[in-house]
Amino acid sequence: MDVNTGRYASPATAFAIGSYLKKIAFYLEGLSHEVNKTVLENQKEQKRRKKITLPSTKDIRSLKTYLEKRQHVHLEKLKEKFKFEVWKDLLGVTLTLVQLFNRRRAGEIERVEIDDFLQYERFNENNEMMVNLNMREKTQLNNYVRFLIRGKLVRNVPVMLSRMNLECLNILLKFRGQAGVDPNNVYLFGLPGSTEAHLSATSLMREFSILCGAQNPESLRGTELRKHIATKCSTMDLGNTEIRDIAEYLGHHEKIHLDHYRVPNAVKDIVRISNILEKAQDSQDENLIDVDNGHHSNMEHISHNPNVFDTNSAVYHADIVLPSVSDQMNVSSRLSWSIDEKSLVHKEAAFYLNNLEQAPLEYCQQLISKHNSLKRRSANSLKAFISNEIKRRKKQLLNPGTPSIRKGTRKYWSNNEKMMVMKHFESYLTTNTLPSLRVCKTIIDKKPELRRELQKC
């Protein structure tokens, strides 16, 4: 193209290049869909075959007991005298206890900011929220405080602290300056060295899971603990409200919580679902009586009922009134496209077909008005025909090895053929029986015009 005049020296070449680029784009789009489909199938297969070992309640209790004992010892030592090793160890133990109780992500809990922690909420008996609570709920409310932190996807997610963890964090903050932590370090579990230094929750969980003597320390990890609580909830028969509440607390979308964090529970399937399947297999209809006990069952009535289909003989008897030949011929049939109609559409709509673009409804109406041979077609049916042809061409582009010619068009029965079949097979139609292959061949020999259809009989 001449940039000065804006004209093409070879317009046809430019037009052809545009068409080829569109076809290449369609091919690449289809290829990407195939690749994505394969990737998703492989991911599902790997997820299905991956063995997920959730932490046992015994191991979780062992880790909790070990951390609480260690926390108590270091807290008493720190109250007596400041030592950096004791301060740092108490900081790590408290972080892991908070993560273990709240089942928070490691990155969320290790990056808790001091300003967020200082906004914690505490309730006492004078609070109006306590009025409608029972004694157990009031005790729970007195035992914990709550504050919000930044979660994944900028969500606000809550963190709850017991009285012991709250006391430890307040003391840790008190000795923070003596520990040498930079005053500009905003993290609650910050370390000396830089303004961004903080403890690693993942490393601490890995270390303490071994030291606590758990039978399966590899299962005591942040993600597995989050899956554990999600799976545990599935055995508690929680309602939709409770499921939504726990998902929001963990920082999950409800669908993600159910699909990805809740591990399929084999115990639940075996205990509950197998019981339902056993009942469905062993249960008997109250109308069916045991034949072995000398009683007649409904099966005998069914076997002698003339209105029941006999699959062995391929013959069924029923009190059915067959419609007359004229009634059967009046049934509306599909209006197939003739060769002349197809050729005309391929010629007139070549622009849309070659560029693989959908034809507007207005264009289809104009085309019908222009050609009398298309008068029996509606604009919607013409548009659907063009759309189907475009789909066929796209498929041909994505699979160049397949032949471009269709396997064949369906041939419908003409009225004359229907009349001949009704006449020659009247005895079979009235008795509701099927003719044998030899009978069909005999009729074909007598009436060669039926060869096209009856040879398939």
Burial of 55 (0-12, 13-18, 19+ CB in 10 A): buried
**pLDDT of 286 over the 60 cut:** no
Pairing of strands 156-162, 144-150: antiparallel
**pLDDT of 253 over the 60 cut:** yes
Cβ atoms of 251 and 152 within 8 Å: the answer is: yes
CA dist., res. 86 & res. 106, Å (int): 22
**Helix residue ranges per DSSP H, 192-310:** 201-211, 222-234, 240-250, 254-256, 266-268, 274-282, 298-303
Greater model confidence, 408 or 211: 211
Q: How far is CA 143 from CA 10, 147, 163, in A?
A: 83, 14, 6
Q: What is the pTM of this model?
A: 0.52
Which residues, in sequence order, are CB contacts of 26 under 8 Å at separation 6+? Answer: 356, 394, 397, 398
Region 383-388 average pLDDT: 90
pLDDT score at 323: 42
Cβ atoms of 27 and 397 within 8 Å: the answer is: yes
pLDDT score at 433: 82
Q: Specify the range with the lowest mean pLDDT, choosing from 41-50, 114-123, 233-242.
A: 233-242
Pairing of strands 156-162, 315-316: unpaired
Largest CA distance in the chain: 115
pLDDT score at 102: 93
pLDDT score at 451: 64
Q: What is the pLDDT of residues 230-252, one digit of tens each?
A: 888 776 767 777 777 887 888 76
pLDDT band at 289 (very low <50, low <70, confident <90, very high): very low
Q: What is the pLDDT of residues 174-200, one digit of tens each?
A: 999 999 999 999 999 999 999 999 999
Burial of 204 (0-12, 13-18, 19+ CB in 10 A): buried
pLDDT score at 216: 94
Region 283-307 average pLDDT: 42
pLDDT score at 258: 57
Q: What is the pLDDT of residues 126-141, one digit of tens each?
A: 777 777 788 888 888 8
The helix/strand/coil state of 113 is strand
Q: What is the pLDDT of residues 97-115, one digit of tens each?
A: 999 999 999 999 999 999 9
pLDDT band at 393 (very low <50, low <70, confident <90, very high): confident
pLDDT score at 8: 76
- CA nearest to 382, candidates 395, 363, 396: 363
Domains observed in the chain: 57-220 (1.10.443), 314-333+412-457 (no CATH), 344-398 (no CATH)
Cβ atoms of 34 and 41 within 8 Å: the answer is: no
Mean pLDDT, rounded, of the chain: 79
CA dist., res. 386 & res. 380, Å (int): 10
240-264 CB burial, b ≥16 within 10 A, e <16: eeebeebbbbbbbeeeebeeebbbe
Region 60-86 average pLDDT: 96
